Amino acid sequence: MNNREIILHTNSVGKYFYDPIKFKAIDDISFDVYKGEFLTLVGKSGSGKSTLLYCLSTMDTAYEGELYIKGEKVTGKKPNELANIRNCTIGFIFQFHYLLPEFSCLMNIMLPALKLNKYTYEEVEQRAYEKMKLLDIEDQALKPASKLSGGQQQRVAIARALINDPAIIMCDEPTGNLDSKNTQIVFEIFNRICHELGQTIIAVTHDLDFAKASDRTIELADGKIISTYENN
Binding site for ligand ADP (CB under 6 A): 17, 19, 25, 43, 45-51
Would you say 57 or 215 has its CB closer to another protein? 57
In 3D space, the residue among 76, 80, 224, 93 whose CA is nearest the CA of residue 154 turns out to be 93
Residues 165-194 that bind another protein (CB under 8 A): 172
Does 10 bind another protein (CB under 8 A)? Our answer is no
CA dihedral 197, 133, 118, 35 (to 10 degrees): -20
Q: Would you tell me how many other CB atoms lie within 10 Å of the CB of residue 199?
A: 23
Nearer to Mg ion, 54 or 190 (CB): 54
Contacts of 200 (CB under 8 A, 6+ apart): 7, 8, 33, 34, 35, 36, 37, 38, 39, 167, 168, 169, 194
Could you tell which of another protein, ligand ADP, Mg ion, none binds residue 120, using a CB distance below 5 to 8 A set by kind? another protein
Q: Which of 3, 45, 80, 232 binds another protein (CB under 8 A)?
A: 80
**Residues 56, 66 contacting (CB under 8 angstroms):** no
Q: Measure Cα distances from 75 to 5, 13, 71, 92, 94 in Å.
A: 20, 10, 12, 19, 23
Residue closer to another protein, measured from CB, 100 or 208: 100
| Selected binder of another protein within 28, 77, 114, 216 (CB under 8 A) | 114
Member of 40, 47, 50, 108 binding Mg ion (CB under 5 A): 50
31 Ramachandran zone, left/alpha/beta (phi>0; psi -120 to 50): beta
Convert residues 202-221 into a mask of x (bound to another protein by CB under 8 A) and - (unbound): --------------------
Q: Is 42 or 110 the residue whose CB approaches another protein more closely?
A: 110
CB of 192 to ligand ADP, least distance (A): 26
Q: Is 128 strand, coil or helix?
A: helix
The span from the CA of 137 to the CA of 140, in Å, is 5
Q: Which is nearer to ligand ADP, 50 or 140 (CB)?
A: 50
- CA dihedral over 74, 67, 189, 159, signed as positive or negative: negative
Nearer CB in complex with another protein: 120/232: 120
Residues that bind another protein (CB under 8 A): 50, 54, 57, 59-60, 79-80, 83-88, 92, 94, 98-103, 107, 111-112, 114-117, 120-121, 160, 164, 172
